Amino acid sequence: MKKWGKRIGYGIGDLGCNLVFSTMASYLMVFYTDVFGITAAAAGTMMLVTKFIDAFTDTGMGLIVDRTHTKWGQGRPYFLLGAVPFAIFTFLTFYIPNLGSGGKLVWAYVTYCLLCTAYTVVNIPLNTIVPRLTSDVHERDILVSTRMVCALAGTAIVMSITEPMVRLFGKGNEAKGYLGTMTLYGIVAMCIFFVTFASTKEVVPPTINQKHASLREDFKGLTGQAWILFLLNLFYFSLYVVRSTTVLYYFKYNLGKTEWMSLVGILGILSGLPMLLLLPALERRYSKRSLMFYSILLYIAGDLLIFAGKNSAACLLIGLVVTGLGIYGIFGITFAMQPDVIDYSEYQKNASVAGLIAAFQGFFVKGGMGLTSFIIGVFLKNGGYVANAEQTPKALSYIQICFIWIPIVLCALIALCTYFYKLDGLRDEMTQELETRRKGMLDEV
């Protein structure tokens, strides 16, 4: 029971993050344009500009975590320190000040940047802490899978109750409704971060107590396997954005199944749950590299089944479930690779750079999501897509390319990166060597 307390305490940290992150991903643009009162161009520009700010804050937070040494550990203190600012900036981002258009735009920039920074403060440590919670490889896999399930639950909650909550709190006033809903999400997330802090304990110290002289020295601690992990994050989250963005277009316009929209959304979120629950058991029997290849094949098979069986409801439903299993398999395995990559830097480079690795993961994730969203928009525009209208054959073909064929290309790129991943064969050797170094450090004390 104590183990499950730690697992759930760690995992729900991502549920707290996703209560706000998923809402921002799904609702923030429409809030800014339809409720807050700034133009779509201004909102889009702001979100693009803030990606560059995120790059600096993510890297800075990673460096701070690597340089943190407290009785509570390296990453864990930031769950406590970041919880209250996260709730405050969530409230302020969805608060509409009584200012002119210029003043409101400044307010939007400042509050959104502060919220993204607060998210970074709690999320980067969440990504780095697993190797410090346990040295048992199977237990790490369970922790990662628990986190993925909780993240999925957070997204499902947001997609299910946000609009009803806005109506409940607003009673016809959307501004009041969004503010009430997001204030509640912020407070719940704050309480969750307190639980995560109380439920976890960093018991596995780094094998070195190095003082980082410069960013250049930190970069030397990154291995080739770390860059493979970064590329996997780039291509996976590009795949995620393509699928989640274009699936509704494909079913609405290419297949004419408007009445399926809610079902498609639910299947897109929940179809991956069985895979995330099974991953820890599968990872005991198969290498992460092999499981990644199987997940890629699952996604491609489901994608082609949707394409070939477009006139069969059964084929479409099965295809959606199979692609969901595949994409969440890729998702879970990518995150399960991260603790091994962190250990490999200690093993090969004698460098403790967990924070920097998590920071670069975040940068590649946000870069992939931002760039892919831009490319899809340009692609649909060039295809002649017109919202809420009957599409031309050219527009339909461009939507099909986005939903069916671009994901297959991205799957091929993920497979190519995975081909060069080699830490499965080194896992036992790394564990033994790092444990020997830790015992040597204790003997010297």
Cβ(30)–Cβ(93) under 8 Å?
Answer: no
Q: Residue 217 is which amino acid? A: E
Please report, rounded to a whole number, the percentage of residues in the chain having pLDDT higher than 90. 53
Backbone angles phi, psi at 203, to 5 degrees: -110, -10
- What tens digit of pLDDT does each residue of 248-279 get? 788 888 998 888 877 887 787 788 889 998 99
**Rounded alpha-carbon distances, angstroms, from residue 5 to 8, 199, 337:** 5, 7, 23
Q: What is the identity of the amino acid at 227?
A: W
The single residue listed with the structure tokens 């190095």 is 210
Can you give the pLDDT at residue 369?
Answer: 75
| DSSP designation for 211 | P
> b/e string for 105-120 if b means 16 or more Cβ within 10 A?
bebbbebbbbbbbbbb
Per-residue pLDDT of the chain (445 residues), as tens digits, is 578 899 999 999 999 999 998 888 778 877 888 899 888 778 877 877 787 788 788 888 988 998 888 999 999 999 999 999 999 999 999 999 988 888 999 999 999 999 999 999 999 999 889 999 998 988 999 999 999 899 888 888 887 888 899 999 999 999 999 999 999 999 999 999 999 999 999 998 887 765 555 777 788 889 999 999 999 999 998 998 888 778 878 888 899 888 887 788 778 778 888 999 899 999 999 999 999 999 999 999 999 999 999 889 999 999 999 999 999 999 999 999 999 999 999 999 988 888 889 888 888 887 777 778 778 878 888 888 887 788 899 999 999 999 999 999 999 999 999 999 999 999 889 999 998 888 876 655 5
* CB contact set of 291 (below 8 Å; sequence gap of 6+): 279, 282, 283, 329, 333
The packing angle between helices 354-382 and 224-249, to 10°, is 30
Q: Are 300 and 408 in contact (CB under 8 A)?
A: yes
Q: Which long-range contacts (CB under 8 A, 24 or more apart) does 416-422 make?
A: 417/228, 417/231, 417/232, 417/235, 418/228, 418/232, 418/289, 418/292, 418/293, 418/296, 420/224, 420/228, 421/225, 421/228, 421/288, 421/289, 421/292, 421/337, 422/225
Q: Which of 302, 348, 350 is nearest to 324 (CA)?
A: 302
- How distant, in Å, are the alpha carbons of 195, 301, 316, 421, 422 from that of 296? 35, 9, 18, 15, 18
346 CB neighbour count, 10 Å cutoff: 21
Closest CA to 59 of 360, 350, 335: 360
Residue 256 three-state SS? coil
* Gyration radius of the chain over CA positions: 22
The structure tokens listed for 13 are 């940290």
Predicted pLDDT of residue 135:
87
The residue to which tokens 């802490």 are assigned: 129
Helix (H, G, I), strand (E, B) or coil at 76: coil
The secondary structure of the chain in percent helix, strand, coil, rounded to multiples of 5, reads: 80, 0, 15
The answer to whether the predicted template modeling score (pTM) of the entire model surpasses 0.85 is no
With a CB cutoff of 8 Å and minimum separation 6, the contacts of 32 are 38, 42, 43, 46, 108
Q: What is d(CA 13, CA 384) in angstroms, rounded to the nearest whole number?
A: 42
Quote the CA–CA distance of 318 and 274 in Å, as a whole number: 14
At 440, the amino acid letter reads G
